Amino acid sequence: MKDRSLLMIPGPIEFEPEVMTALGMPTTSHVAPDFIEAFGRALETMREVWLAPNGQPFVIAGSGTLAMELAGANLIEPGDRALVLSTGVFGDRFEDLLTRHGAEVTVLRAPLGCIVPHEDIEDALAKGSYKLLTVTHVDTSTAVRMPIEAIGMLCRRYNVLSVVDGVCSVAGEEIRQEEWGLDVVLTASQKAIGVPPGLALLVASQRAMDAFSARKTPVRSYYADWAKWLPIMTAYVARKPSYFGTPAVNLIAALDVGLQQLAAEGMPARFSRHERLAAAFRAGVDVLGLTHVAEDGDYRANMLTACRYPKGIDAASLLPEIKRAGVIVAGGLHPDIKSEYFRVGHMGAVRPGDILAALGALESGLADCGYVFEPGVSLAAAVRQL
């Protein structure tokens, strides 16, 4: 398509044609046999993608923020203590969210561009009596990736429920929910899942479901109450119709197609592909002399890269030039450094050619802004890495 830019932001992403075809099919009834089959299959395949064969999947119309709400609303009761690990804007959101549901919240906030140290987390868990811990696996505002396997182990040791915000990590970063002992892993459809925006997705462990069943007070949110949605999910897995609220029929049809594609690729292969493409993109920006918001290379996300602008160049000058070269990237999001950096998403349907196109557009934009470098150097570095 002429004049169509390549979308390389941290979501929504580029979607596979088969997903868009499913989305555009005539809308059917939510109790039609073909829809019942698609919804049930999608729920079953979520267990494969999350690597949680015994988990309870939920698919509800809404954004990733609703997925966060589903976790907080159903697992927190007034007076419960919660520990929030924050590496950016989206970690901070949990403080407000859980407080609204009556939790007494403690926040461990990492220095900008860093992770929350393991010893600080363990010290807080040892001293406190927490019911719940939340962690943003990849914070889209900083591109910092937290080590959730180790955090899952800590939560089990201290008998604390773990909630992983995987909005910018599920289906791209390695997550083995059941093996790692993670109680809730949530995401949204428009990121590495590869489906247009509009679905909140999560998988809950049996431990999380038991904690929900043991509640002594009603869930404060009517729409987010698992008691309303669990019979719906159970019915569709059993290939039976059920109703609480009208599901997003076309989006769920697209989700079914997208999840089948993920399962066909296989999760280990998918994790490896994202790691390889991220390494190639980072090799390109590194050789250009750009620096990262995420300071430690071991904790940089594979789903996006957050780069600081070179001295003398800002968003108003660089981003339009990148777009003019055919690629759309995102500006900064973290309020403390919003004007100092930009973000490039590389998740889901992204392929090596997209990485090279993004680097080529970045080089073109930098050159138009007067930045001095050897033309083609980032593409050569990425090709070597690939």
- What's the pLDDT tens digit per position in 253-298? 999 999 999 999 999 999 999 999 999 999 999 999 999 999 999 9
Q: What angle do CA 145, 150, 155 make, to 5 degrees?
A: 115
Same fold, 6-11+267-385 and 17-265: no
Confidence band, pLDDT 50/70/90 cuts, at residue 2: low
Query: What mean pLDDT do residues 197-207 have?
Result: 98
Global pTM?
Answer: 0.97
- Looking at the domain that runs over 17-265, which CATH code has it been given? 3.40.640.10
Query: 144-177, pLDDT tens digit by residue?
Result: 999 999 999 999 999 999 999 999 999 999 999 9
**In the chain, beta strands by DSSP E:** 6-7, 56-61, 81-86, 104-109, 132-136, 138-139, 144-145, 161-165, 184-188, 199-204, 304-308, 327-328, 330-331, 341-345
Confidence band, pLDDT 50/70/90 cuts, at residue 4: confident
Percentage above 90 pLDDT, the chain = 99
Query: What mean pLDDT do residues 210-215 have?
Result: 98
Q: Give the pLDDT confidence score for residue 358 in this predicted structure.
A: 98
Tokens 């669990």, located at residue: 230
CA distance 209 to 213: 6
Coil, strand, or helix at residue 47? helix
Q: Does the structure show a pLDDT above 60 at 195?
A: yes
> Domain ranges in the chain?
6-11+267-385, 17-265
Coil, strand, or helix at residue 245? coil
**In 158-215, beta strands by DSSP E:** 161-165, 184-188, 199-204
Query: 220-258, pLDDT tens digit by residue?
Result: 999 999 999 999 999 999 999 999 999 999 999 999 999
DSSP code at position 39: H
The β-bridge relationship of strands 56-61 and 81-86 is unpaired
CA distance 152 to 209: 17
Q: Does the structure show a pLDDT above 60 at 378?
A: yes
CA distance 345 to 75: 32
DSSP code at position 19: H
Going from the C-alpha of 355 to that of each of 282, 290, 303, 335, 360, the distances in angstroms are 10, 16, 12, 27, 9
DSSP code at position 200: E
Query: 49-70, pLDDT tens digit by residue?
Result: 999 999 999 999 999 999 999 9
Percentage above 70 pLDDT, the chain = 99
Handedness of CA 248, 40, 43, 12 (dihedral sign): negative
Coil, strand, or helix at residue 187? strand
Q: Which CATH superfamily is domain 6-11+267-385 in?
A: Aspartate Aminotransferase, domain 1 (3.90.1150.10)
Q: Does the structure show a pLDDT above 50 at 1?
A: no
Beta-carbon neighbour count of residue 349 at 10 Å? 15
